[in-house]
Structure 1
Amino acid sequence: MIRIFHRWIERYFADEEAVLVAVIIIAGFTIVLSMGVVLAPMTSALIIAFLMQGVVLRLTSWGLSHIVAVTVAFLILVSSVIVGLLYILPALWHQVVKLFSEAPRMLKEGQELLLLLPEKYPTLIREEQVTQMIDGLGNELAQVGQTILSISLAQLPVIISILIYLILVPILVFFFLKDGREMMEWFSNILPRERPVMQQIWREMNQQIANYVRGKVIEIVIVAGVCSVVFSFLGVNYALLLGIAVGFSVLIPYIGAAVVTLPVAIIGFFQWGLNETYFYLMASYFVIQALDGNVLVPLLFSEAVKMHPVVIVLAVLVFGGLWGFWGVFFAIPLATLFKAIITAWPTTNIDEGLAEVKG
């Protein structure tokens, strides 16, 4: 057993750069897992700066100086945050409060509909089953209410954290955009001069991650905006809330679209019932999903790495469980990064080396 393990070490860690890459990966995971909460503002600022870097590059290609391009990109970011805080967030909060206030009425109507099922289908559904289902649903809603109450009682630390983010993150984003090149050069000087494996991984991942992250943000904005406009045009209650939910559902491939269909269908049903407008709503929703999957995604992610659906779902589950929202957001780039590391990892053929020694 020791001999097998020793041969495995010699095969994959005989190269010095392989050991260095392994140390960097382990150190990065350790820092994120142990100090992720403390470094959350810096991590958020780094991600936002990475997204805004495309705007800076585009402005500099138009002839603007670097500092002017950074200033314009920073003003775009601040303006977007102000618009979100002053207009989108209050409207979204109003719809959330309205939804919770109407939840008891919707629950009562749902119970009445469920109690009609045993009368229509007595051979398939018994009244006891429906009663157990209603009781279980009531218990779940009670737990959700207690959770919301506990969150509301702990609002002060949350407000303080939000204020820290609103002040600290934009400042960090500005300096990351302004001095990002110098920071990368300083970090490169720490590493060995000869690093072909790291350079191969960086070349393979830099453009792909940039395209994926920026494309995913654009996809969220477009899908959320189109859904909100279409739902508002049809007169759906909570149009903005549902539109934003559909937009963020694209973060989780395959699963997100299936999950978010349920609230859209339920709210439309309780508002109109099974009439013509309800079917217009569902038809519009499925058309948007079809256009997103067959038109928008191929345009935005034409250079994305193709991965098996099982790998994508596994990456979402693992990284989402480790890092929450950001883990879900970066699940596919992180899976692609691990694929690039495995592909570029230097290995030594022990059997060939032994054959040469014997010869």
Structure 2
Amino acid sequence: MFELVKAWYIKKFSDPHSVTLLLLLVATVALLYFFGSYVMPVLVAIVIAYLLEWPVNKLARITGSRLISVILVMAAFASIALGLVFGIVPVLWQQLSNLLQESPTMIEEGKDFLLHLPEYYPALISTTQVQAIVTSVENKILELGEILVSASLTSLKDVVAWMIYLVLVPLLAFFMLKDKKELTSGISQVIPKDRKLISQVWHEMDQQIMNYIRGKVFEIIIVGLVSYATFSFLDLRYAALLGALVGLSVLIPFIGAALVTLPVAAVALFQFGLAPEFWTIVIAYGVIQALDGNVLVPLLFSEAVDLNPVYIIVAVLFFGGLWGFWGVFFAIPLASLVKALINAWSSNNQGLIAKQD
């Protein structure tokens, strides 16, 4: 067994470039795993910097100054962020409060609907089965309520930290954009000289991560606005809240759309019952999801995400379990990074074999 492992190691990591790439990868994963909460503001700033790099470059070609471009783009970004906070967040909070107040009534009506199912479909479901389902749902709701209460109490301690992040993160993003060349050259001096594979992976991932972040933000905005407009046109209550949920659901490929279906269907069922309006909303929601998956995603991401859906779901589950929200957000780029690493090692091994021949 030891000889097999030794032979595999010699085959894969006989080149110093491969060893350097492996050590850098292990160090980065260890840093994020053990100190992820401490470097989170830096990661958020990197995301913002990647998002704003494209408009900064475009504007720099017009103004001739990167500093002026960074200042203008950051000012526009801050204005949009403040507009969202003070314009949209209060509306969403109000609708969420109203929905939580009506949730006990919705739960009771749903319970009553389930209890009457055996009368209409006695051959398909029994009273005992329905009672078991109702009990299970009630227990899950109680557990969810306890989790929400505990989360709200613990989150009060983080208010000061969030206020600090609101100042630090934009500053970090500003200096990352302004001093991009100096920062990248400083990092390159720290990395060992045997970094051919690191450069190969970096060049492959750099543009891909930028395109992914920008495309994902555009996807959230487009899907959220279209959902809000559709729900408002169909006179569905809590249209803004549900539209925002549908927009944010695209962060989790495949799984997010399935999860958000429940609140959309529940609100529609509570408001309209099994009337034609309910089925119209369900069909419209299905059309939005179909257009997102088959038209919008290929248009925004093009060839940036060339991964099998199985790999994407596994990446969401794995990286989401490791790093929570940011693991889910970066699941696809991280899966693409794994693919790039495998390609780099494979191409390097083929080069070594060719030299030996």
Question: Is residue 68 from structure 1 mapped to residue 68 from structure 2 by the alignment?
Answer: yes
Cα distance in 1 for residues equivalent to 2:139 and 2:113: 19
Question: Is residue 147 from structure 1 mapped to residue 122 from structure 2 by the alignment?
Answer: no
Aligned twin of 1:236:
236
Cα distance in 1 for residues equivalent to 2:29 and 2:75: 33
Cα distance in 2 for residues equivalent to 1:2 and 1:91: 63
Task: Provide closer, same or farther for how the CA distance between residues 29 and 329 of structure 1 changes in structure 2, counting only shifts above 3 A.
Answer: same
1:188-207 equivalences in 2 (<5 Å): 188-193=188-193, 195-207=195-207
How far residue 194 of structure 1 moved from its aligned partner, in angstroms, is 5.4
Question: Is residue 80 from structure 1 mapped to residue 80 from structure 2 by the alignment?
Answer: yes
Percent of aligned pairs with the same amino acid? 45
Give the TM-score normalised by structure 1: 0.93
Aligned twin of 1:347:
349
Task: Provide closer, same or farther for how the CA distance between residues 196 and 244 of structure 1 changes in structure 2, counting only shifts above 3 A.
Answer: same
SS in 2 for 1:307: coil
Cα distance in 2 for residues equivalent to 1:329 and 1:156: 25
How far residue 149 of structure 1 moved from its aligned partner, in angstroms, is 1.8
Task: Provide closer, same or farther for how the CA distance between residues 126 and 82 of structure 1 changes in structure 2, counting only shifts above 3 A.
Answer: same
Cα distance in 2 for residues equivalent to 1:46 and 1:110: 45
Aligned twin of 2:109:
109
Aligned twin of 1:47:
47
Cα distance in 2 for residues equivalent to 1:169 and 1:161: 12
RMSD: 2.0
Cα distance in 1 for residues equivalent to 2:22 and 2:151: 40
Cα distance in 2 for residues equivalent to 1:186 and 1:319: 29
Cα distance in 2 for residues equivalent to 1:4 and 1:352: 23
Aligned twin of 2:284:
284
**What are the superposed Cα offsets for residues 168-227 of structure 1, whole Å, 9 maximum, x if unpaired?**
111111111111221001111223445322222122211122112211111011111111
Cα distance in 1 for residues equivalent to 2:48 and 2:5: 43
**What are the superposed Cα offsets for residues 328-348 of structure 1, whole Å, 9 maximum, x if unpaired?**
111111111111111111327
Contact 1:249–1:256 (8 Å) recurs in 2? yes
User: More relative contact order in 1 or in 2 (CA 8 Å, sep 6+)?
Assistant: 1
Contact 1:7–1:350 (8 Å) recurs in 2? no
SS in 1 for 2:237: coil
Question: Is residue 136 from structure 1 mapped to residue 136 from structure 2 by the alignment?
Answer: yes
Counterpart AA for 1:229: A
Question: Is residue 37 from structure 1 mapped to residue 33 from structure 2 by the alignment?
Answer: no
Aligned twin of 1:120:
120
Aligned twin of 1:180:
180
Cα distance in 2 for residues equivalent to 1:48 and 1:185: 20
Question: Is residue 167 from structure 1 mapped to residue 153 from structure 2 by the alignment?
Answer: no
Contact 2:51–2:210 (8 Å) recurs in 1? yes
Aligned twin of 2:317:
317
SS in 2 for 1:170: helix
**What are the superposed Cα offsets for residues 280-322 of structure 1, whole Å, 9 maximum, x if unpaired?**
3223222222221222112111122421111111111111111
Any unmatched runs of 5+ in structure 2?
A: none
Counterpart AA for 1:71: I
**What are the superposed Cα offsets for residues 15-41 of structure 1, whole Å, 9 maximum, x if unpaired?**
111111111101001110111111111
Give the TM-score normalised by structure 2: 0.94
Cα distance in 1 for residues equivalent to 2:327 and 2:140: 27
How far residue 117 of structure 1 moved from its aligned partner, in angstroms, is 0.8
Cα distance in 2 for residues equivalent to 1:155 and 1:262: 26
**What are the superposed Cα offsets for residues 223-251 of structure 1, whole Å, 9 maximum, x if unpaired?**
11111122123221111111111111112
Counterpart AA for 1:292: D
Cα distance in 2 for residues equivalent to 1:248 and 1:59: 29
Q: How many residues are matched?
A: 355
Cα distance in 1 for residues equivalent to 2:106 and 2:305: 44
The list of structure 1 runs, each at least 4 consecutive aligned residues, that deviate by more than 6 angstroms after superposition, is 348-353
Contact 1:59–1:69 (8 Å) recurs in 2? yes
